[in-house]
Copies of this chain bind each other. A is one copy, B any other.
Amino acid sequence: MDGSNKQIRLARRPVGTPTLEDFSFTEAPIGTPGEGEVLIRNVYISVDPYLRGRMEDVKSYIPPFQLNDVIISGVIGQVVESKSAHFAKGDIVIGMLGWEEYSVAHEKTLRKLDPALAPVTANLGIIGMTGLTAYFGLLDIGQPKEGETVVVSGAAGAVGSTVGQIAKIKGARVVGIAGSEEKCSYLINELGFDAAINYKTEEVGKVLEKACPDGIDVYFDNVGGEISDAVFPLLNKFARIPVCGAISAYNKTEADIGSRVQTYLIKTSAFMKGFTVGDYSSRFKEGGAQLAAWLNEGKLKYEETIKEGFDSIIEAFLDLFKGKNLGKQLVKISEFE
């Protein structure tokens, strides 16, 4: 296909909070699919906090981006040219693709979406990676039981809001920690959380103690930092802590210093486990089916914050660290035909 393909590349490794200057906007010819490949016009780009980690040159659960690489994340697009027997022109597909207008991808790296089953963007959120992250972290590590108290930080984000709802489905008392009054009232009034704490205006430890009169059995940690420091003294015996994210630390240039957790863990025999959704890849089918069922039964709700236009991808990514998003942050860069 003729024409040019706008792309966003990692120009340099961010130091602290990423800025526009850490990225370069380049143009390249639109690619041509080889045998078994398709050409995709990208429509929805997912921006996620974990991508900050991939911009560092350190060992982690996924290899870092190389300098001048096109940034890769979850993307939904539409097939415009196919050399694959599995995909036809017009098919809507999802995969890990570039921050670019057009991607060429091998058929094995793509999955076809059926818009009749669920809104397609849900596949980047509540029934996709963020939903699965919530599902496995909460149920496999957190294991909430009926009547227990579950606290979730980053509660109005894509993962946190799903965690709280699944905890409610399991019969737990759910307390969310989020960064604005609007988010807190969303959690309580729309998602059915039992309480919500605005960490920007309230003293988390104090308010949390009141909101959790029976202590805390599960703490789903999306943020780390001072918010998590305030949670540890309130843990119950045999508490479980899925450690999903530490967004408070991702942009730190100095060491992440705060409360050491050892004494709290010993006093309560509590259990803390880091994880990434990839640890559960063999169970994605199970998780996706359950999330889709809950969604269709009306037991799960979700919000999306969608920016428009290719040029707003970086801004959407940077907004994550300012806590601007309610639910899943996406960027729409073209239309389905």
Q: Which residues of A contact B (CB under 8 A)?
A: 53, 58-61, 221, 224-225, 228-229, 237, 243-246, 249, 255-276, 279
Contacts and interface: CB of A to CB of B under 8 A. Distances in A.
A259 B260 contact: yes
Nearest to A60: B267
B271 A273 contact: yes
17 contacts: A61-B266, A61-B267, A224-B260, A225-B260, A243-B265, A249-B260, A256-B260, A256-B263, A257-B260, A262-B274, A266-B274, A266-B276, A267-B274, A268-B274, A269-B279, A271-B271, A272-B273
B275 A272 contact: no
A246 B224 contact: no
Nearest to A141: B271
Given A259-B255, A260-B258, A266 B245 contact: yes
Contacts of A269: 61, 273-276, 279
Nearest to A267: B60
A271 B141 CA distance: 10
Contacts of A244: 266
Number of copies: 2
Contacts of A221: 262
A255 B262 CA distance: 12
B224 A268 contact: no
Contacts of A258: 257, 260
A261 B224 CA distance: 9
Contact of A273 (B59, B237, B270): B270
Contacts of A228: 260, 262
Contact of A61 (B249, B255, B268, B276): B268
A271 B268 contact: no
Given A61-B237, A269-B61, A264 B274 contact: yes
A265 B260 contact: no
Given A61-B237, A271-B271, A249 B276 contact: no
A47 B313 CA distance: 62
A145 B245 CA distance: 28
Given A257-B260, A258-B260, A260-B258, A272 B276 contact: no
A231 to B, nearest CB: 11
B257 A265 contact: no
A158 to B, nearest CB: 17
Given A224-B263, A256-B262, A269-B274, 12 more contacts: A225-B260, A228-B260, A228-B262, A229-B260, A245-B266, A246-B262, A246-B266, A255-B259, A256-B259, A257-B259, A265-B273, A265-B274
A124 to B, nearest CB: 21
A17 to B, nearest CB: 16
A221, A228, A261, most chain B CB atoms within 10 A: A261
Contacts of A237: 61
